[in-house]
Amino acid sequence: MAWLYLIVAGFFEICWPVGLKLSQDPKRFWWGLGIAISGLAASGFMLWLAQKNIPISIAYAVWTGIGAAGTFFVGVYFFNDQVNWIQTVSAFLIILGVFGMRLG
């Protein structure tokens, strides 16, 4: 169950930078800020639950990896961020590292 908490925490970790991005539009400021704060709180809580059974060194690396790679892909697909092949390969290496942490 701890790994499920950690994966969910990682997905909520994606919410807060996306919310901050949305809040840059004055029409979406409060909505985006609400997403950011809610995502941050949910992510932190789920990480706290996961760390009851997963060492902090593994939990934090997986949590940030999911958040970093997930935010990268959200930026590319939903915000049309410019990207090159080196950045894409690097994001996939982060995901590979997350799987390696889980298998290790």
Give the start-to-end residue ranges of the domains of the chain. 2-103
pLDDT at residue 62, rounded to an integer: 94
In angstroms, the Cα distances linking 7 to 45, 70, 86, 87 are: 12, 11, 26, 23
Q: 69 or 104: whose pLDDT is higher?
A: 69
- pLDDT single digits (tens) 40-99: 999 999 999 999 999 999 999 999 999 999 999 999 999 999 999 999 999 999 999 988
- pLDDT single digits (tens) 8-37: 999 999 999 999 999 999 999 999 999 999
pLDDT at residue 103, rounded to an integer: 84
* pLDDT of 101 strictly over 90: no
